[in-house]
Structure 1
Amino acid sequence: MSSVVLTCGYSYHTQRFHDHYSTGLPCYLFRLQTEGRCEADIAGRRVSLEAGDLLMLPPGTVYGLHVGEQNAADGSIASGDYYLLTVSEWLDDWWARAGKPLIARIDPDEKLLGLWRLMIAEKRRQTDDGGGTGSPELIDYLLRTLCLYLERAVTETAAPSAPPPFAVLRLKRFIEENATGRFKIDDAARHAGLSVSRAVHLFKEHVGRTMMDYATEVRLSAALERMKYTSFSLHQIAENCGFGEYSYFHKVFKQRYGTPPGVFRKRFRENESGTNLL
Structure 2
Amino acid sequence: MPVNADRLPEAAAPPPGLVVIGHYDELPGYGISRPGGAESWLFLWTTGGRGRVRQGRAEVAAGTGDLVVLAPGAPHQYAVEPAAAGWRFWWVHCQARPGWTPWLRPYDAGDGLYAVTPTPAAVHGRVEAAFGRMLADARWTGTEAPPATAPGHDRVAVAHGTAARELALSSLEEIVLLTAATARPPATRPGIDERVRRAEALIAADPAAPHTVRSLAARVSLSPSRFAHLFAEQLGRSPMRALREARLRHAARLLEGSDLSVERVAAASGFASPFHFNRVFRDRYGVPPGVYRARGSMVGE
Identify the TM-score tier after normalising by the shorter chain: 0.3 to 0.5
Question: TM-score, normalized by length of structure 1?
Answer: 0.46
Structure of larger gyration radius: 1
Question: TM-score, normalized by length of structure 2?
Answer: 0.42
Q: Which has the higher contact order (CA 8 A, sep 6+)?
A: 2
